[in-house]
Structure 1
Amino acid sequence: MSYAVHRSSGRRQFLQLIDGWTGNPAYVENRFTDVLAANALATALSPSYCAGVNLVRALLLDESTRELFRDWEELTEALIASLRANVGPDVDDPRLSYGCGWPATVRRAPAAVRQGDE
């Protein structure tokens, strides 16, 4: 199992729960699409499902991740739309800043996704 550094007892119990789902891939992400935890099956499907990986960045920047999805453009549009909805008014959050590479990341997105950022 892969999980983030902060481990409260409640979080540990939650991680034990998803790790017990050996027949189903499971991962937990925050509103910025950072993977917080993933069970072994999720990580086996893609190394992107590993604590600390940002799913939007992985989908846009990692060629091997893109190759996993036949419908890459549609998935990317949906994932970025979800990110925008989840972030809401917190668009100035440092995790979405130039220093974190978001503008460069979004430039690699399909044209339909970039339209909202130009």
Structure 2
Amino acid sequence: MTRENQLGDFLRARRDLVSPQEVGLPWHMSRRVKGLRRDEVALLAGVSTDYYTRLEQGRERHPSEQVLGAVARALRLDDSAAAHLFQLVQPAPRTAAAPVTTVSPELSCLMEHFLDLPACIVGPALDILAANRSGRQLFSGFARMDNQLRMLFLDPAGRRFYRDWERAARGMVSNLRAQAAPFPDDPRIAQVIGELSLRSPAFAQLWARYDVRPCTSDDKPLWHPQVGEMYLHYESFTVASAPGQRLLVYSAEPGTPSADALVLLRTLAEEPRSGHPARTAS
């Protein structure tokens, strides 16, 4: 993830996503850009076109908070995207530790013996670092249980498992950008982004949008090859003792077919298995 002109890349990508109609500007068939022009963003933000051009080109590196707020409003950024914009201009001091890629024995024990719901630990590159038995069973339809992005974009099982694949893809890519932001020089994050950009046009297209949104909870329609359709809710918890790690826990509303499916999933997880289940990253 190069830091050369991330601000310019972000601004260009985000103005491409805003149509003139959304912001009350006239639209003409002869327009040669798919979103807003630089002069239109400048008009909406209350700055000169020259100033905004210098901002996008990386020649103006110290805009005020008032200007950044005006640009965020002009580009219709939500809270997460606006925070990312501010971070690009005013990055936090580089004192954060590198992401931790090993899961503590205590956390592994908690997942395995005190959580009967599917649970796993993921890193900032969305690598699955560990999972309990129910978690491994939940993802058993995949060839490998190693990285959430690779599983979704490169494993054919991804389009069967995620019933609303397009929504899942958008959410996971915007979550990656949010989780990776505190670790701009991490080689594993760069490796994952590079591999997927080369091997998955769908990922490359979504990554170029510069959507930024941490996914802390969500409801997902899923399909498992042994228990069928499930509608699961998941919560993401920060692991305070391990920078970059998050604990994901999947649940279902009590008394629903999805709750019954989770009971069956736990039963299957307890049974001895033949064959080769999905493997977590080492």
Q: C-alpha deviations, 1:2-44, integer Å up to 9, x for none?
A: xxx946xxx1111011011453000010111011110011111
TM-score (normalised: structure 2)? 0.33
Query: Which portions of structure 1, spanning 4 or more consecutive aligned residues, are displaced by more than 4 angstroms?
Result: 89-92
Alignment partner, residue 88 of structure 1: 181
Q: Tell me if the contact between 2:154 and 2:200 (Cα under 8 Å) persists in the aligned partners.
A: no
Percent of residue pairs bearing the same amino acid type = 25
Gaps of 5+ in 1: none
**Would you say the 8 A contact 2:127–2:147 is kept in 1?**
yes
Deviation at 1:86, TM superposition (A): 1.0
Task: Choose the corresponding residue for 1:102, options 178, 187, 196.
Answer: 196
| 1:69 correspondence with 2:69 | no
**RMSD between superposed Cα atoms in Å:** 2.9
1:26 has 2:97 as partner? no
Pair 1:19–1:76, CA change in 2 (3 A):
same
Aligned to 2:57: none
Q: Which has the higher strand share?
A: 2
Does the Cα contact within 8 Å between 1:73 and 1:110 map onto a contact in 2? no
Deviations 1:49-86 (A, max 9, x none): 84xx1111110000112211111110111011010011
- Provide closer, same or farther for how the CA distance between residues 89 and 116 of structure 1 changes in structure 2, counting only shifts above 3 A: farther
- Tell me how far 1:103 sits from its aligned partner: 1.3
Secondary structure of the equivalent of 1:108?
helix
Separation in 1, partners of 2:161, 2:204: 16
Q: Tell me the SS of whatever aligns to 1:67.
A: helix
CA 1:105–1:88 in structure 2 vs 1: closer, same or farther (change >3 Å)? farther
Measure, in 1, the Cα distance between the counterparts of 2:120 and 2:102: 16
